[in-house]
């Protein structure tokens, strides 16, 4: 049952247990609410490393964050892990934020996670992988926490199936909606996906876009930015993981090593 909701991942439904077991929740401490609040998504790319968006981190220290894995409902109950190291991509520009590109960061966990049916590592693509236009892929997250205040309980993980859009077409859509039509808005290290009513919103920033090849789920995108949630012509914009796979592998060897 697809519905257009005013908040959150649009055109979405609750996720059955164990379907996206690499999904992570990035937390920051809220003094008012006295809890580690969900601020962004992420994905487990290794037993001890989480992939997310650099704009989720900003200039904060590792100690400002916790990570939760293996959860379908936020806070139910939490078993948070500390982050010992944050590696934002060196080309990420804090002033330009996500739209400047290189919106990617790695978080090292204090200890390796224990794999289970609900906690698994997602496959990364080879750098040469071409993601074809119109391929249907899936974006997951707990919905928009920033635009509309905190997500209402029970904070259940959401999923939406979205078609990949080519960069040139996507760039034209964004140029048409912007005053600055000459500029390349969608850079080569970005990937677009989503169509009317199915798109990711900001609270899902840092979370994974995955596609299936030969029965393997491969993470091709990191939720980065998008002007309007579920806007008819404007797809969501993701960091293109293939552009950064060799950078990721400088820190993260093959799964489990």
Active site residues: 55, 103, 205
Is the N-terminal amide bond of 250 cis, ω within 30° of 0? Answer: no
Q: Are 193 and 164 in contact (CB under 8 A)?
A: yes
* Cα dihedral 185, 190, 196, 201 sign: negative
Question: Which contacts (CB < 8 Å, 24+ apart) does range 135-138 have?
Answer: 135/163, 135/164, 135/211, 136/161, 136/162, 136/163, 136/164, 136/211, 137/161, 137/162, 137/163, 137/164, 137/193, 137/209, 137/210, 137/211, 137/212, 137/220, 137/221, 138/20, 138/162, 138/209, 138/210, 138/211
């Amino acid at each position: 049952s697809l519905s257009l909701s005013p908040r959150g991942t649009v055109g979405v439904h609750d996720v059955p247990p164990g379907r996206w077991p690499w999904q992570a929740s990035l937390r920051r401490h809220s003094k008012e609410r006295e809890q580690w609040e969900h601020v962004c998504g992420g994905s487990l790319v290794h037993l001890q490393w989480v992939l997310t968006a650099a704009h989720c981190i900003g200039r904060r220290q590792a100690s400002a964050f916790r990570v939760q894995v293996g959860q379908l409902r936020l806070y139910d109950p939490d078993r948070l892990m500390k982050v010992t190291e944050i590696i934002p991509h060196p080309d990420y520009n804090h002033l330009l934020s996500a739209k400047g590109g290189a919106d990617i960061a790695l978080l090292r966990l204090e200890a390796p996670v224990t794999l289970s049916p609900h906690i698994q590592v997602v496959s990364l693509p080879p750098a040469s992988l071409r993601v074809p236009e119109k391929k249907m892929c899936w974006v997951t997250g707990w919905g928009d926490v920033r635009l509309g205040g905190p997500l209402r309980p029970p904070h259940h993980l959401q999923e939406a199936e979205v078609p990949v859009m080519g960069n040139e077409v996507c760039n034209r859509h964004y140029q048409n909606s912007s005053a600055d039509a000459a500029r390349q808005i969608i850079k080569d290290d970005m990937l677009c996906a989503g169509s009317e009513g199915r798109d990711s919103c900001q609270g899902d920033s840092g979370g994974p876009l995955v596609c299936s090849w030969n029965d393997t789920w491969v993470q091709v995108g990191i939720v980065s930015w998008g002007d309007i949630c579920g806007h008819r012509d404007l797809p969501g914009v993701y960091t293109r993981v293939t552009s950064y796979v060799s950078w990721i592998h400088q820190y993260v060897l093959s799964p489990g090593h």
